[in-house]
């Protein structure tokens, strides 16, 4: 294995690291993730500012609007595509046969579906993120497997990293193929590597003459992997020596799937998404031309993370599509199903669910369009908000589909095929539930999203006082950091208290003004709590996931509240006589405020220690007696 004995300039400076308190492997994983992390914010971040006690409503209010011209482009395409799909694709058939018919894939290719995100100058449709999301929302409400085929191809598959990191030559070579219908995939996960890519074992070794890499290894759960023409694959390359220590390097490559040595060893089957083409792939001495390296050697993990940062803007759209369908089913069923003398939606237990479903769907729509428009405009850094939107929308969909199933009673649990066979409307609630569960796991699980958000939320403090918190810093560095930090925080911290007591007016928010004032006030409280947790736990904070989770949840709710209020006002401006957007936003905010209060309460009063102790005993096999009395797996 070739070694490059060089110092990495990125780690030479004083950039503070999030120091792991775990073992050497955990430390190494953290270092690899830190190195791959995008460190600077060129544009303002709404969410980042919230965590620092700064509410910046002007970043989202007035709510950004899609231009009429862009909207028209999306409208025309959506009508064409959905007419085609409704005429040619039966979602029930996909469910039964586990196949999306080849002629449907061909028809979509002819419409340009696989080139939606490819820039026009490379023969693509050059869609905005908003239009792309609108398409995904429509398709996911009709056939989730087909939406995943489209999304895995261009949210994370070759078009996205190629657009962000490809050379002009690579773009000219690969982009036009997507207009011809080439399908791509993204191969990062391995049997032993899921959330933590540092332990990746697939390896690409540069040939002696430097003309190509030889790839060996295995990738798991690669969506579209069984039918893809071309994939982006991440693999270890020769390590670097940084500060005398070997540091793992991960690189990304574009790989033609017809290259000798590639074998799809298994098509994976899941509880839902029965029609996705997801595979385990083995690479044996696969030759990748050197010019297929994306970006530079060692930049593969950063590329993968940056790709997913943008790619995950699509999941909120897919989730919102599914929620709109749930809302429609819940509304129609709950108003027509009479039990105990009245519609089930009018019994309080039903009303509560209907209100949650409607208000939360509206909030999901707000963050979906906000983040997509921000991405198109490029004036706001959306890393934090894309993660917040992914976390919020995937979790909310799960709750909404669960409530919809409960409202539908036994019919919710019955398959749509069975319902249809006995003459009832084929409402696919159980299918939506099976299809959507994975969203909280892939493209960054909910737990990993919270860790990501916590890291970003703490970044300004780490920049300010990182050396102070880092046990590996020299005494001199710690003293100098302490005096710098004291100067800064002796003003900053009291300011958060003070500012919490005097909030601005937001007259333009009408009936929603008090919610904007609450967000402003609470952002100061959140910033204080985050800072005091850092000061109290120092480097141990990284392992205090239950505490961090509460703080992150508060930040997410504040972000969504901001978005939904602004979205409601924008809708009212368009249709002044319909006040329902205000009612939806108001209900969402009132519920969110209760959640926030409960989370702040549980910062000081909780059972975290007991949970840790109990879990340790279970994992130490001290309570296996509880598993007796069943047939073991």
Ligand X SMILES: Cc1cc2nc3c(=O)[nH]c(=O)nc-3n(C[C@H](O)[C@H](O)[C@H](O)COP(=O)(O)OP(=O)(O)OC[C@H]3O[C@@H](n4cnc5c(N)ncnc54)[C@H](O)[C@@H]3O)c2cc1C
Catalytic residues: 443
Q: Which of 59, 116, 367, 438 binds ligand X (CB under 6 A)?
A: 438
Closest CB 316 distance from ligand X, rounded Å: 17
Q: Which of 145, 237, 278, 473 binds ligand X (CB under 6 A)?
A: 278
- Is residue 314 close enough to count as binding ligand X by CB under 6 A? no
Q: Which of 202, 222, 397, 569 binds ligand X (CB under 6 A)?
A: 222
| Residue 99 DSSP one-character state | -
- Is residue 36 close enough to count as binding ligand X by CB under 6 A? no
If one counts every other C-beta atom within 10 angstroms of the C-beta of residue 403, the result is 20
Beta pairing partners, 245: 242
Stretch that binds ligand X, among 249-257, 436-444, 466-474, 560-568 (CB under 6 A): 436-444
- Is residue 188 close enough to count as binding ligand X by CB under 6 A? yes
* Two structure tokens written together for 415: 């398959």
Closest CB 413 distance from ligand X, rounded Å: 22
* Two structure tokens written together for 328: 């429609």
Q: Which of 329, 330, 405, 442 binds ligand X (CB under 6 A)?
A: 442
How many degrees, rounded to 5, is the angle at CA 202 between CA 276 and CA 115?
40
Q: Which of 223, 237, 394, 473 binds ligand X (CB under 6 A)?
A: 223
User: Which CB contacts under 8 angstroms, 24+ apart, belong to 578-586?
Assistant: 581/362, 582/510, 582/511, 582/512, 584/358, 584/359, 584/362, 584/363, 585/359, 585/362, 585/363, 585/512, 585/515, 586/511, 586/512, 586/515
When CB distances to ligand X are compared, the closest residue is 194
Q: Are 431 and 415 in contact (CB under 8 A)?
A: yes
Q: Which residue, 143 or 152, is less far from ligand X as judged by CB?
A: 152
Closest CB 199 distance from ligand X, rounded Å: 10
- Is residue 447 close enough to count as binding ligand X by CB under 6 A? yes
How many degrees, rounded to 5, is the angle at CA 535 between CA 529 and CA 537?
95
Within residues 142-181, the interface with ligand X by CB under 6 A covers 152
- Is residue 384 close enough to count as binding ligand X by CB under 6 A? no
Within residues 256-275, the interface with ligand X by CB under 6 A covers 270, 273
Residues in contact with ligand X, counted by CB under 6 A, come to a total of 22
Q: What character string, x for contact with ligand X (CB under 6 A) and - otherwise, covers 190-209?
A: ----xx--------------
Stretch that binds ligand X, among 103-111, 158-166, 440-448, 454-462 (CB under 6 A): 440-448
For the chain, how many residues are written? 633
Closest CB 160 distance from ligand X, rounded Å: 12
Stretch that binds ligand X, among 10-18, 81-89, 113-121, 221-229 (CB under 6 A): 221-229
* The dihedral sign for the CA sequence 54, 55, 61, 63: positive
Between helix 144-151 and helix 314-336 the angle, nearest 10°, is 170
Q: Which of 448, 535, 570, 603 binds ligand X (CB under 6 A)?
A: 448
- Is residue 187 close enough to count as binding ligand X by CB under 6 A? yes
CB-based contacts of 572: which residues, under 8 Å, 6+ apart? 510, 578, 579, 581, 582
* Two structure tokens written together for 500: 């919490």
Distance of CA 591 to the CA centre of its chain: 23
Residues making contact with ligand X (CB under 6 A): 152, 185-189, 194-195, 221-223, 270, 273, 278, 438, 441-442, 445, 447-448, 451, 545
């Amino acid at each position: 294995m070739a070694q490059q004995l060089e110092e990495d300039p990125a780690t030479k400076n004083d950039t503070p690291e999030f120091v792991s308190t775990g073992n050497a492997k955990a430390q190494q994983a953290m270092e690899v993730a830190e190195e791959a992390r995008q460190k600077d914010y060129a544009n303002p971040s709404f969410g980042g500012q919230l965590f620092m006690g700064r509410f910046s409503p002007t970043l989202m209010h007035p709510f950004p609007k899609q231009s009429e011209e862009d909207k028209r482009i999306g409208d025309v395409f959506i009508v064409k595509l959905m007419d085609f799909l409704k005429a040619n694709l039966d979602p029930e058939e996909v469910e039964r046969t586990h196949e999306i018919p080849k002629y449907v894939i061909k028809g979509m290719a002819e419409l340009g579906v696989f080139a939606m995100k490819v820039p026009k100058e490379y023969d693509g449709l050059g869609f905005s993120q908003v239009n792309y999301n609108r398409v995904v929302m429509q398709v996911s409400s009709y056939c989730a497997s087909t939406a995943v085929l489209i999304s895995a191809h261009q949210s994370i598959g070759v078009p996205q990293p190629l657009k962000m990191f490809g050379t002009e030559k690579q773009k000219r070579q690969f982009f036009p193929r997507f207009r011809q219908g080439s399908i791509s995939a993204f191969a990062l996960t391995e049997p032993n590597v899921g959330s933590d890519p540092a332990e990746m074992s697939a390896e690409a070794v540069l040939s002696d003459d430097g003309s190509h890499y030889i790839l060996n290894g295995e990738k798991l759960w690669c969506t579209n992997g069984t039918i893809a023409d071309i994939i982006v694959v991440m693999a270890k390359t020769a390590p670097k020596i940084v500060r005398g220590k070997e540091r793992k390097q991960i690189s990304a490559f574009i790989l033609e799937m017809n290259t000798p040595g590639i074998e799809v060893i298994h098509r994976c089957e899941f509880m839902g998404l029965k029609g996705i083409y997801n595979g385990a792939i083995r690479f044996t001495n696969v030759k990748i031309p050197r010019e297929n390296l994306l970006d530079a050697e060692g930049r593969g993990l950063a590329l993968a993370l940056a790709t997913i940062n943008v790619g995950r803007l699509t999941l909120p759209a897919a989730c919102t599509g599914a929620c709109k369908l749930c809302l429609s089913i819940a509304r129609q069923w709950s108003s027509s199903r009479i039990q105990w003398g009245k519609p089930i939606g009018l019994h309080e237990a039903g009303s509560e669910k209907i209100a949650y479903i409607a208000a939360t769907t509206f909030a999901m729509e707000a963050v979906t369009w906000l983040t997509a428009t921000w991405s198109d405009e490029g004036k706001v850094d959306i890393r934090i908000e894309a993660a917040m939107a992914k976390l919020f929308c995937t979790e909310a969909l799960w709750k909404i589909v669960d409530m919809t199933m409960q409202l539908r009673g036994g019919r919710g649990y019955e398959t749509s095929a069975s319902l249809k066979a006995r003459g009832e409307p084929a409402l696919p609630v159980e299918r939506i539930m099976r299809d959507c569960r994975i969203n909280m796991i892939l493209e960054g699980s909910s737990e990993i999203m919270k860790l990501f958000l916590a890291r970003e939320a703490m970044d300004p403090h780490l920049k300010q006082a990182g050396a102070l918190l880092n046990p590996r810093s020299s005494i001199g560095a710690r003293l100098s950091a302490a005096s710098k930090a004291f100067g800064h925080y002796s003003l900053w911290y009291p300011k958060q208290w003070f500012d919490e007591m005097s909030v601005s007016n937001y007259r333009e928010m009408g009936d929603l003004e008090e919610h904007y004032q609450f967000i402003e006030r609470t952002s100061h409280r959140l910033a204080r709590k985050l800072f005091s947790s850092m000061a109290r736990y120092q480097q141990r904070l990284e392992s205090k996931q239950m505490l961090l989770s509460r703080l992150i949840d508060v930040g997410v709710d504040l972000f969504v509240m901001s978005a939904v209020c602004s979205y409601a006002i924008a809708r009212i401006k368009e249709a002044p006589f319909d006040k329902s957007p205000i009612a939806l936003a108001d209900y969402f905010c009132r519920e969110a405020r209760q959640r926030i209060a409960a989370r702040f309460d549980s910062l000081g009063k909780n059972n975290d220690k007991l949970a840790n102790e109990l879990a340790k005993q279970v994992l130490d096999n001290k309570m296996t007696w509880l598993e007796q009395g069943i047939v073991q797996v």
